[in-house]
């Protein structure tokens, strides 16, 4: 009998590249649809323009690379659609459509295809596209829309809770927690958040951020729906729990221990829930830091990577000039990933730990 030995890997998973990409997109759909609901029809157009432009650039580059048949190109596997969806969810509802197209051009052309296409990029293309347009057109990327579920007051305008707190502290306001700063300035809360807060004692701003009644980028505002999507991916074994759990835990621990120092309240007084659920932390931890191409291979490597993401997110968010830090933190750890993989190597198949000579006798 002839035995044919194929090239590695010899262990196979039911999760093909195509199924992974479309399942991740499916997991993101509820949060994306919620963003459309609270921000209106323009948020839908931002997502559509982002997806169409991402797929367009993917197909054009694949065409010139020799993949003229869509079914044989990377466009068919859903990776470009996922990049466009993630990037669109990381943009504000009011961003000009030209910047949406520019962000996708940078993500697909520069970050993904310049380094060899699918599986060869060294950082997450969607994050790279967001950071590119943010630093190139900061004012346009900082114009947020307050959800229609809230009543807006003039003092807060379209500021997100994180940006409002950062601005207030920079203006000299101190000795108050983030929730106290927001309450003092009459930052709006929903009636359901106020009701739950009165019976539980949890900050209404943390509750609104968990549900999705806050300003921000289109797909980052509902922590609840993002967590549901993340659980779905973990259940499908598309991602492991190590990166999101250690990322969120490390950030939470550092926030609790040291965030109060910035607020003038001292050590071990940081407000955790409002900070965890606000901004892009949940979206980043579950859907972008877990990118298979740009995150470490081993379990130990994933934990080190996640701890680094949590540390840099805390450092930049609290002591940097920017109110948000998730994108930069993940990109910084994307850069470190090859080094982590180099020194934290998986054990060889069949490896057995050597027994010391004295123990063997």
pLDDT score of 225? 98
pLDDT score of 154? 45
Distance CA 326, CA 288 (A): 10
Query: What digits encode the pLDDT tens for the residues 219-271?
Result: 999 999 999 999 999 999 999 999 999 999 999 999 999 999 888 888 999 99
pLDDT score of 70? 61
Distance CA 157, CA 146 (A): 8
- State the DSSP string of 206-237: HHHHHHT-S-SSTTTS-HHHHHHHHHHHHHTT
Task: Count Cα atoms within 13 angstroms, Cβ side, for 228.
Answer: 13
pLDDT score of 94? 92
pLDDT score of 58? 93
Peptide bond into 9 cis (omega under 30): yes
Provide the 10 A C-beta neighbour count for residue 300. Answer: 15
| In contact, 86 and 108? CB cutoff 8 Å | no
pLDDT score of 299? 96
pLDDT score of 354? 65
Low-confidence stretches of the chain (pLDDT beneath 70): 1-14, 68-73, 150-158, 348-361
Q: Indicate yes or no: pTM above 0.85.
A: yes
Instruction: Print burial letters for 269-295: b (CB count within 10 Å at least 16), e (below 16).
Output: ebbbbbbbbbbbbbbbbbbbbbbebbb
Closest CA to 38 of 197, 221, 175, 179: 221
Closest CA to 323 of 140, 169, 92, 146: 169
């Amino acid at each position: 009998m002839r035995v044919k030995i194929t090239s590695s890997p010899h262990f196979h998973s039911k999760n093909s590249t195509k199924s992974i990409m479309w399942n991740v997109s499916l997991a993101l759909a509820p949060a994306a649809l919620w963003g459309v609901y609270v921000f209106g029809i323009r948020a839908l157009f931002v997502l559509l323009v982002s997806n169409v432009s991402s797929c367009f650039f993917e197909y054009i580059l694949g065409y010139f690379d020799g993949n003229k048949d869509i079914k044989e190109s990377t466009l068919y596997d859903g990776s470009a659609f996922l990049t466009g969806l993630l990037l669109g969810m990381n943009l504000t509802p009011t961003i000009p459509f030209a910047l949406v197209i520019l962000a996708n051009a940078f993500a697909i052309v520069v970050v993904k295809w310049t380094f060899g296409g699918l599986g060869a990029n060294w950082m997450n293309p969607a994050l790279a596209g967001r950071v590119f347009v943010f630093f190139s057109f900061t004012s346009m990327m900082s114009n947020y829309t307050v959800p229609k579920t809230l009543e807006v007051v003039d003092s807060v305008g379209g500021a997100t809770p994180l940006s409002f707190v950062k601005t207030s502290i920079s203006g000299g306001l101190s000795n108050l927690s983030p929730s106290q700063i927001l309450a003092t300035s009459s930052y709006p809360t929903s009636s359901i958040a106020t009701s739950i807060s009165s019976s539980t004692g949890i900050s209404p701003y943390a509750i609104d951020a968990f549900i999705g009644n806050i300003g921000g980028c289109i797909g980052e505002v509902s922590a609840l729906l993002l967590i549901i999507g993340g659980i779905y991916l973990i259940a499908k074994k598309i991602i492991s729990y190590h990166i999101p759990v250690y990322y969120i835990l490390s950030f939470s621990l550092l926030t609790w221990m040291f965030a109060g120092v910035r607020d003038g309240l001292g050590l071990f007084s940081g407000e955790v829930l409002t900070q965890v659920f606000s901004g892009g932390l949940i979206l980043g931890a579950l859907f972008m830091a877990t990118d298979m191409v740009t995150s470490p291979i081993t379990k130990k490597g994933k934990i080190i990577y996640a701890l680094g993401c949590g540390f840099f997110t805390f450092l930049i968010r609290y002591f940097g000039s920017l109110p948000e830090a998730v994108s930069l933190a993940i990109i910084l750890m994307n850069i470190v990933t090859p080094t982590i993989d180099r020194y934290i190597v998986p054990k060889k198949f069949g490896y057995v730990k050597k027994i010391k000579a004295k123990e063997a006798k």
